Structure 1
């Protein structure tokens, strides 16, 4: 079987920045084990598969290990492929997903993701995560992911993670967000996934479903600029709308081609 394959750098306006995602259009759904194998072969944090049903586009996200319930950068990448490569002309795209219907609006080269808010609440930090951190947070919260708050941006930049220790915990499908106020933006973050083939996710849209409501309350702002401080760096324009969050970003096509399953 021959399938189209697109690789897109999301939440960036530069090649080799942001978070790379693969996008694979399908005419009908393939077996889940085959989708996982394709995602593993692609060797990026997420591969998005979609089937266009006409009124809505059924979208699913796979890491090399599991199917995810929500993924921001691969959703943005899919919208980019639809509009910039596949000739999709509507400025509003509705995706049917495990997290409900998600809308992406397109304004030239800027994509706005309308995602559910996942406001984190106070939590206790598991001992395994605590022991894996080179510096301890000043606050611990949790939604799908643990949200660890630090005093300043330099803490986020300089922290080290003991992967051997962190991989002893299974947060499937969640991860560990570390965050602080930004020096030249509203807030910064990094994201780590225990037991995943890629420990640090370069830019994590879904993490901002928790970061946006948290920092909106802390800063007294509804519109914020965020940076994810991985080596690739990601830029996210964020809006808090109560039970929803808007996450805006750009994307660049890195490659187009085909994959073969036999």
Structure 2
């Protein structure tokens, strides 16, 4: 074979091999799942200023994700709750995850979710946000600088305090009630509620997900104060808890003889909740502010 023919044969072989490798790369690329960056936003709920209230991460999903992925994101965010929304024809599917488990109801992360929908342009301000959740249909409306949530009321029944609860809190109780969500404990004064230092190891052994501690407020600024402890779901103390106020609203409505309240959750971060009790529903109003915007890779 002449030298020129040999060179041409080698070149053709190299070209053929290159085309084959290119085709394999294209096929591999097409078979790989498309990785899209997912926006995630951190919001401080039940506050008008950053670094107060209760922080929640909110993820408006561009495509459905499985439970393991959502739980891993919640663990990575390491906040009391991370909310995941999936757009539907007439609203949004909404799920809430702590760093360790999925929960049935979360007030502050719902407030944060509504804030994100309006502030990020997913929903026009005059439209009601509709959320389909484990706790049924929940709605939110924008009212000036406040967001009003429509949640189910949660009654408590008088209960005997278990020894673990008495030892964990270490103070005198005025009342103890219970439902499938939490123990509700009224103590003698706001000072006692504020100064509690619970034994979280003992609280974690209780049958309920959490413990609400409450008292009348000492001043006229608020009607009642509260704190919420939930080590059983990975949250020693929640900064501001909308779902706890679904229990507090009917409780204080009976004791104070009215249906509208200004409440304060006396955690280290603190937060104000406007509460309106209306039979089987509780309307919770709060403010919210975006503090962080990022992307999940």
TM-score higher than 0.5 here?
Answer: yes
Shift of 1:170: 5.0
Map 1:158-169 onto structure 2 (within 5 A): 158-169=195-206
The CA deviation string for residues 45-86 of structure 1, in whole angstroms up to 9 with x for no partner, is 000000011212110000011111000000000000010123
**Greater RCO, 1 or 2 (C-alpha within 8 Å, sep 6+):** 1
Map 1:94-109 onto structure 2 (within 5 A): 94-109=130-145
Map 1:141-160 onto structure 2 (within 5 A): 141-143=177-179, 144-160=181-197
Pairing 1:183–2:218 present: yes
Aligned counterpart for 2:152 among listed residues 102, 116, 136: 116
Aligned mates of 1:42, 1:77 — CA distance in 2 = 15
1:245 paired residue number: 282
Aligned counterpart for 2:101 among listed residues 49, 66, 85: 66
Aligned mates of 1:257, 1:194 — CA distance in 2 = 28
TM-score normalized by the length of structure 1: 0.95
SS at match of 2:240: coil
Shift of 1:87: 4.3
1:215 paired residue number: 252
Unmatched tracts of structure 2, length 5 or more: 1-34
Aligned counterpart for 2:272 among listed residues 223, 229, 235: 235
More moved, 195-204 vs 225-234: 195-204
Q: Is the 8 A contact 1:3 1:24 kept in 2?
A: yes
The CA deviation string for residues 153-208 of structure 1, in whole angstroms up to 9 with x for no partner, is 1111111111233233353xx20000000123101000001234330000000000
2:63 paired residue number: 28
Aligned counterpart for 1:52 among listed residues 66, 69, 87: 87
SS at match of 2:247: helix
Aligned mates of 1:238, 1:35 — CA distance in 2 = 31
SS at match of 2:232: coil
Pairing 1:255–2:292 present: yes
Shift of 1:248: 0.3
Shift of 1:28: 3.1
2:165 paired residue number: 129
Q: Give the length in aligned residue pairs.
A: 258
Aligned mates of 1:31, 1:58 — CA distance in 2 = 14
TM-score normalized by the length of structure 2: 0.84
- The 1:87/1:35 distance shift into structure 2, 3 A limit, reads closer
Q: Is the 8 A contact 1:192 1:201 kept in 2?
A: yes
Aligned mates of 1:72, 1:26 — CA distance in 2 = 20
Aligned mates of 2:72, 2:122 — CA distance in 1 = 28
Aligned mates of 2:238, 2:80 — CA distance in 1 = 7
